[in-house]
Amino acid sequence: MTPLFLGLASTDISPAEHAFFSSIDPAGFILFRRNIEDPEQLRRLTDALRALSGRGDVPILIDQEGGRVARMQPPHWPAFPKAESFDRLYDIAPITAMEAARLNAQAIAVMLAGVGINVDCLPLLDVRQPGAHDIIGDRALGAEPQRVAALGRAVLDGLRAGGAVGVVKHVPGHGRAMADSHVELPVVDADLEALEIDLAPFIDLADAPMAMTAHVVYPAWDGHECASLSSVVIGEIIRGRIGFDGLLMSDDLGMHALKGDFGARAAGVLAAGCDIALHCSGDMAEMEAVAGAVGRISDAAKARLDRAMATIAEGVQATAFDDLIARRDALMAYLA
């Protein structure tokens, strides 16, 4: 198995992709809007990915946050509220807001499970800061660490109960960034004291099964490399100060915050301490470069992957999707 989560080009597995994936055995896959037509097609695709990998629990990831980040969309699937909605509810009734967030996440997970997706890149634990770039914005659960952690815990619990593994992101915190890492490399010049605010939700949820790094430079910790490429940030801050021992994946290698060829990017994030390199575009030439630059998955990374995927079987609850939506909507309407 190679330490890669890879994307696909289209709505089915092409012969070239089938041969490539069979030869390198990626640890998992990630799906985007380009891969999705309707429930029947999506279920066929995820079934095919499981058959290809030979693993019933192969991670199949998606970014299904709600709000403006949703790969599965109407008319085939309902729209879900943005994270900011639960932040606003928290102002009125914190316990009710947490329950609404949990029910919402459980409904998302049940929806994903129905089409064979078992990992959702959610929740964001980025603490929103005034004046920062809007790439986080209304995707954030709040501007106060304790609130972000409380709502983030509710989301993780809901995802697990519905049959999906949650991924906390973007560790060690993207909320202060003044740039979009999809476009350029953000540099956060906050001092150590200020950065403790960003770390706090990740510390509270250090037992999360998976996490995704930020392509952000923090000179207070490492003035040369972004977190995804920094052995200092990963070793001393993420694994050390935060105490996270779950599966750590990089953010997408294709984002313009990173420079250099794709092989170097993949090798770099793994050398820095990520367990998995994430490549999303489905571009075959890029994937071949990435695969050619990495070896086999480490024993420690494989153990973390297995442990993360096992949390689904441990926590799943049988609850009807419509019932979850109705209970969430009743809570949100009561507080509106």
Please identify which residue in the block is written with the tokens 């940030």: 233
Task: Kindly compute the dihedral angle of the four CA atoms of residues 174, 177, 182, 184, in this order, to the nearest 10 degrees.
Answer: -140
Which residues on adjacent β-strands are paired with residue 67? none
- H helix and E strand count, the chain: 11, 10
Element (H, E) at 305: helix 299-315
Task: Point out the catalytic residue in the list 38, 91, 182, 322.
Answer: 182
Alpha carbons 73 and 168: distance in angstroms, whole number: 22
What lies within 8 Å, CB to CB, of 19 at 6+ separation is none
Q: Which structure tokens are listed for 265? A: 């990017």
Map 216-246 to HEC letters. CEECCCECCCCHHHCHHHHHHHHHHHCCCCC
Q: Which structure tokens are listed for 92? A: 């009125």
**Active site annotation includes 207:** no
Task: Point out the catalytic residue in the list 204, 251, 252, 275.
Answer: 251
CB 176, CB 135: distance < 8 Å: no
**Active site annotation includes 251:** yes
Catalytic residues: 182, 251
